[in-house]
Amino acid sequence: MKKYLIQSLLVFCFFTTLDLFAVSFKGRIFSRTKNKGEAAVTVFIFETKKGYTTDEEGFFEAEVPTFGEYTFRILRATGMQELKKTVSADGESLTLFTDKVQAPKGAIQVDGQKEKTILSRYKVRYDEIKRMPGTLGEALNAIQTLPGIFAPPFFGGGQPGGIVIRGNNPNTNTILYDDLPILYAYHFDAINSVIHNDLIKTIDVYTGAYPANYANATGGVIEIESTDSVKKATGSSSISLLLGQAMYQTPLFNGKGYMAAGGKVGYLDKTIGATGLIPDGIRLPQYNSSNVKFVYNFTPQHAISFTSLTANDNFVLNASTKKGNDPTKEPLEAIAGASVSAGQGFRTMGLRYIWTPGSKFNNRLTLINYDPFNKTNVKIGSIEADFIARAPYTGVRQDLNWDATDFLKIDFGTEVRAFSYNVSGYTVSQKDPNNLSPNPYKTDNPDFEKREITQRTQFGYGNAYSSWHFKFGNLKIEPGARYDYIGSSKQGVFGPRGLVSYRFDNIGKGMTLFSGAGDYFRFPFFSQQPSLESGNPDIKFEKARKYGVGIDQQITEEYSIKGEVFKQEFSNLIVSDPYITEPYGLNPDKTQLLNKPIVTNRALNYSNKGDGWSHGYELYIKKSNRPGSRDWFGWISYTWSQSYRNNNVFVPLGDDSSKLITATEARVRSQYNNSKELIYEFDTTHLLSVVYGWRINEQYQIGGRWFYRSAFPYTPVIGDDGGQYTNSVNGITIFNPKYSDNPYSGDYQNSRRAKPYHRLDFRFDKFLNYEWGYMNLYFEVLNLYMRENILTENFDSTKPFSGTNPSPQGDFFLLRNGGYKSPFFNIGLEVRF
Amino acid sequence: MFLFKKVLFFLLIFLGFLINCVPVDDKISKEDAQSQIYFAADFKAKKCGTSIPTPPLLVFTDQIQRNLDLCTIAITRSDCPFAEYPIICLGIYSPDAVPSIPWYISFKELSNRRIKF
């Protein structure tokens, strides 16, 4: 304790010395047109009456008594130039630009760039989020601080790589990188993204009604925009406890093009996996990803770009069959003999031609090749699956922006794709999807069945969209529509949408009222649900109707506040349906195809019976800083929402749940709905983030983040099955949890929540500046006040139900060791040259 | 304002160092421990077709998780008949954690060594 106290006092003393001196800074007089500093000119600071002379590079060192705006008079033989500039931090570098860059003759100033909607969209800049605390060095994690967005942690039972937007399932989002698809945003550790930090320019998140150029999302759209210019060759590399990453970018062809490439390698298994904290038999996730972008501008009118994105993730578990001598030291005893090998990945390649024939028109033609895959090999009791699935497509997409008149801009786009869905192997499915506690060790009438899913299917897909942006003074009216068509099932969906906004210039720095709505659709392209072999080929698009109304007030140039009320209505949601059948169909058991090719009452397993809704409001107060400045920035975001779903599938009650039923009974049940509308599993009533970041001077930066949210709902365990079955590998009795099957009980599905989750994160950055670049050492503390956040409850199936089983399952961000607890921390080093 | 930010920063750093010294009480409350033992005994009694041995195993203090788990696992894995409690359940009356079980002692055999309370 004494040691820590002395260290803390030293830190305190160090920081309190900063105010004892005048504010010194390094200035530079720089000409943009000459692209170099102005040497040997005299700079006179009017307020201090002191003059300085610049060196060969245009630099000068000066002092002012305090922070604030100063008048710099640049004295040349040809005359005097006066510039005003703010000194905001001790030791900072100020660049005073003496002129503006003139557009080269013949260059095209494109006005027809797509204007982004104000409705349900939040944007963050890379420099704001790169060093955000609590992100473990991952910029994409920072979007969790925006309204309505949360990514459940992998170690808490959440889906790896899942981002929940306004209480929707993460699978219903679309994630794009420069308009190119990526299968998942996060690697298996759910902390690090598949995109290299330094190749991100901005991230736009559309949480509600989004424009017509985006598709296939009933949740939200995350659009990551990559670096769009490289002025000089730079590179970076960084290492942390979790992963290593590197990036290099350079201009090419005398500035007519550039190349940027980045990659990541995760080695959790070599760091945390080697500490002995992870049980034997578990190999933590390994992963890698790469991002490459190449751009060449032939002329101002013609440019091409090539983008390649790849990611691979895998995870292995092999629970030993050996029986240990001390059962309290065998965490995998319940699943002894189980083996899990899971892998996923994707490869995206995009070749884009950009044609800009004039200042009013811009067209992009993109050839896309996308290949997502999933490998699964699982054996746990009666759960057996072994398959490889791929859903590659090759497509051509065209997007144009046209300034038709002074008051009208038009976006128009089309796309065609040649899809294939290839699966080989078999999977496992739960016989009754309503059974919340299927037992893999049940030997009589097993709860799981193997399902052959090998298939090769090819089909076409096409879409077209258009958005019209009318602007009459401060009034904007933006109608749009989109049509999507799938060849295999010959179904098309039409989604109209629109936005109206009005800006009042004289209220503060501008106040905008806006309102919008639209119909949005999603189809499970990479899923067995619409499969001819193992699913329902008549599966339709899921539908969401979204509404939003809000206000955006720019208070000053730095402060803004945005509020929005939203509602979403869902229909045709795809659900597991054990009762839906077709009168006749191909025998799903391919070993019987010769003897009995046709079966009656063939199970279709999935239907579009689900529906639901969500509503809520969001508030976003932001203090911005100028890019590159030392000023502090931060924001407060708050969301209140409710999200409900109803599967509309018959739920057997009491003893009915274990009965075998006839085909006629199944058909009757498929027509009779007794299910209840329930709080959705991703419902998060309150979501609050407070973010602060401040670059103190050239050497130090600090940041803090406080995060609060309601816990996810869960279904409480109310008992066990009496230990009827055993794991045949080690003879251990398995106690299967029991849940309430009474819809009117207070213990029914999703009826409980743990205490609210909250934590404070802190990050400290130290920069070591060199002639060749800089090194950034950082130290990050998560859950600073060591809140014991509970994610859900965990039932140990080697013990009977009791007051200690189930037990609360804690958060990953609280470390316990030897009777002491400490916050989760991360240290890292970034080298940039 | 600037000084305020620095002081705030100092406090955060100071707190960050202090928190490493916080001890944790990981013991199971005696009520929860009693419940765990009761349900384990109830399972075993039903399986063996007997009643829970009397006098019942009573818990008087908060429990070290390891000691409690060894006792209840031994109960659920012991052989029938279930007339006495496994001797390892004496661990719940110890203030210290039960030491590691040596490799030459079978946990199964240990579970079947019993004591009448």
Q: Does B52 touch chain A (CB under 8 A)?
A: no
CA A6 – CA A339 distance, rounded (Å): 50
- CB pairs below 8 Å between A and B: how many? 124
Q: For residue B38, what is the enclosing H or E element? A: helix B30-48
Contact A466, A479 (CB under 8 A): no
Task: Calculate the average pLDDT of chain A.
Answer: 84
CA A169 – CA A187 distance, rounded (Å): 18
Between B65 and A81, the higher pLDDT residue: B65
pLDDT at A131: 78
Taking CA atoms, what residue in B is nearest to A19? B3
pLDDT at A531: 84
Residue at which a domain ends, from A63, A97, A131: A97
Residues A90 and A36 both lie in one domain: yes
Summarize the confidence of residues A664-688 as an average pLDDT: 87
Q: Look at residue B5 and tell me whether its pLDDT is greater than 70.
A: no
Summarize the confidence of residues A673-684 as an average pLDDT: 90
Q: Look at residue A532 and tell me whether its pLDDT is greater than 70.
A: yes
Q: A65: cis peptide before it, omega within 30°?
A: no
Q: What's the predicted TM-score (pTM) here?
A: 0.81
Q: Taking CB atoms and an 8 Å limit, are A325 and B23 in contact across chains?
A: no
CA B77 – CA B73 distance, rounded (Å): 6
Summarize the confidence of residues A282-301 as an average pLDDT: 92
Nearest Cα neighbor of A269 from A209, A210, A314, A300 is: A314
Residues A84 and A133 both lie in one domain: no
The minimum CA-CA distance between B54 and chain A, rounded to whole Å, is 20
For residue B57, tell me if it sits in a domain.
yes
Q: In this predicted model, what pLDDT tens digit does every residue of A72-131 receive, in sequence order?
A: 888 776 667 878 787 766 667 788 888 765 443 333 333 334 556 666 677 777 777 777
CA A826 – CA A669 distance, rounded (Å): 54
For residue A156, tell me if it sits in a domain.
yes
Q: Look at residue B115 and tell me whether its pLDDT is greater than 80.
A: no
Probe site for chain A from B1, B4, B7, B22 (most A CB atoms < 10 A): B22
CA A788 – CA B32 distance, rounded (Å): 19
pLDDT at A23: 74
Q: Taking CB atoms and an 8 Å limit, are A15 and B9 in contact across chains?
A: yes
CA A99 – CA A121 distance, rounded (Å): 35
The chain A residues in contact with chain B (CB within 8 A) are 1, 4-5, 7-8, 11-12, 15-16, 18-19, 67, 325-328, 694, 702, 704, 722-723, 732-733, 735, 762, 764, 781, 784-786, 798-805, 816, 819-823
Tokens of A677: 């509308």
How far the first Cα of chain A sits from its last, in Å, is: 39
Q: What is the largest CA-CA distance in chain B?
A: 75
- pLDDT-derived band at B71 (thresholds 50, 70, 90) equals very high
pLDDT at B44: 93
For residue A747, tell me if it sits in a domain.
no
Write down the residue that tokens 């930066």 correspond to: A701
CATH number of the structural domain spanning residue A29: 2.60.40.10
- pLDDT-derived band at A464 (thresholds 50, 70, 90) equals very high
For residue A60, tell me if it sits in a domain.
yes
Q: Taking CB atoms and an 8 Å limit, are A802 and B39 in contact across chains?
A: yes
> Of B23, B32, B43, which has the smallest distance from its Cβ to A723's Cβ?
B43
pLDDT at A17: 31
Summarize the confidence of residues A437-447 as an average pLDDT: 85
Establish how many alpha carbons lie within 13 A of residue A579's alpha carbon, considering only the half-sphere containing its beta carbon.
Answer: 22
> Of A784, A798, A801, which has the smallest distance from its Cβ to B16's Cβ?
A784
pLDDT at A100: 66
- pLDDT-derived band at B21 (thresholds 50, 70, 90) equals low
Q: In this predicted model, what pLDDT tens digit does every residue of A590-624 receive, in sequence order?
A: 777 788 888 888 888 899 999 999 999 999 999 98
Nearest Cα neighbor of A731 from B21, B84, B106, B77 is: B77
For residue B12, tell me if it sits in a domain.
no
> Which residues of chain A neighbour B77 with C-beta distances below 8 Å?
327, 732-733
One-letter amino acid of A810? G
> Which residues of chain A neighbour B36 with C-beta distances below 8 Å?
799, 802-805
> Which residues of chain B neighbour A802 with C-beta distances below 8 Å?
32, 35-36, 38-40
Return the sign of the alpha-carbon dihedral for residues A28, A29, A32, A37: negative
pLDDT at A101: 53
pLDDT at A109: 37
Residue A401, phi then psi, degrees to nearest 5: -125, 130
Q: Which domain holds residue B85?
A: 26-115
Q: Taking CB atoms and an 8 Å limit, are A819 and B19 in contact across chains?
A: no
Interface of B with A in 88-117 (CB under 8 A): 100-103, 105-107
The minimum CA-CA distance between B114 and chain A, rounded to whole Å, is 18
Nearest Cα neighbor of A550 from A214, A208, A143, A149 is: A208
Q: What is the ipTM of this complex?
A: 0.84
Q: Look at residue A516 and tell me whether its pLDDT is greater than 60.
A: yes
For residue A625, tell me if it sits in a domain.
no
Number of compact structural domains in chain B: 1
Number of compact structural domains in chain A: 2
Return the sign of the alpha-carbon dihedral for residues A102, A106, A109, A113: negative
pLDDT at A154: 52
Residue A539, phi then psi, degrees to nearest 5: -60, 135
CA angle A552, A558, A559 (to 5 degrees): 45
For residue A527, tell me if it sits in a domain.
no
Residues A126 and A86 both lie in one domain: no
Residues A154 and A189 both lie in one domain: yes
pLDDT at B105: 84
Taking CA atoms, what residue in B is nearest to A721? B43
pLDDT at B15: 53
CA A103 – CA A98 distance, rounded (Å): 16
For residue A84, tell me if it sits in a domain.
yes
Residue at which a domain ends, from A226, A258, A287: A226
Return the sign of the alpha-carbon dihedral for residues A577, A580, A585, A587: positive
Q: Which domain holds residue A59?
A: 23-97
Residue at which a domain ends, from A226, A255, A289: A226
Q: In this predicted model, what pLDDT tens digit does every residue of A4-27 receive, in sequence order?
A: 433 433 333 333 333 334 677 888
Residues A75 and A143 both lie in one domain: no
For residue A155, tell me if it sits in a domain.
yes
Summarize the confidence of residues A488-492 as an average pLDDT: 88
Q: Taking CB atoms and an 8 Å limit, are B66 and A328 in contact across chains?
A: yes
pLDDT at B23: 64
> Of B5, B23, B38, which has the smallest distance from its Cβ to A820's Cβ?
B23
The minimum CA-CA distance between A606 and chain B, rounded to whole Å, is 39
Residues A75 and A130 both lie in one domain: no
The minimum CA-CA distance between B101 and chain A, rounded to whole Å, is 6
> Which residues of chain B neighbour A786 with C-beta distances below 8 Å?
19, 22
The minimum CA-CA distance between A39 and chain B, rounded to whole Å, is 35
> Of A16, A723, A819, which has the smallest distance from its Cβ to B23's Cβ?
A819
Q: Which residues of A162-191 are buried (b: 16+ CB within 10 A; e: fewer)?
A: bbbbbbbbbebbbbbbbbbbbbbbbbbbbb
CA B95 – CA B61 distance, rounded (Å): 9
Q: In this predicted model, what pLDDT tens digit does every residue of A635-652 receive, in sequence order?
A: 999 999 999 999 998 887
pLDDT at B3: 45
Query: Looking at A38-52, A173-187, A745-759, B17-31, which range is the least confident one?
Result: B17-31
Tokens of A828: 């890292």
Strands A221-226 and A174-177: parallel
- pLDDT-derived band at A548 (thresholds 50, 70, 90) equals very high
Q: Taking CB atoms and an 8 Å limit, are A328 and B69 in contact across chains?
A: yes
Taking CA atoms, what residue in B is nearest to A804? B32
Q: Taking CB atoms and an 8 Å limit, are B70 and A327 in contact across chains?
A: yes
Residues A209 and A160 both lie in one domain: yes
For residue B17, tell me if it sits in a domain.
no
Tokens of A445: 């009438």
Contact A72, A80 (CB under 8 A): no
For residue B40, tell me if it sits in a domain.
yes
Q: In this predicted model, what pLDDT tens digit does every residue of A765-797 receive, in sequence order?
A: 888 878 777 888 888 888 989 898 988 888 999
Q: For residue A623, what is the enclosing H or E element? A: strand A606-623
Strands A361-380 and A393-405: antiparallel
For residue A464, tell me if it sits in a domain.
no
Between B11 and A801, the higher pLDDT residue: A801
Write down the residue that tokens 């921390």 correspond to: A825
Query: Looking at A148-152, A726-730, B65-69, which range is the least confident one?
Result: A148-152
Task: Give the three-class secondary structure for A377.
Answer: strand
Q: Mind giving me the DSSP string for A640-678?
A: EEEEEEE-------GGGGG----HHHHHHHHH------E
- pLDDT-derived band at A388 (thresholds 50, 70, 90) equals very high
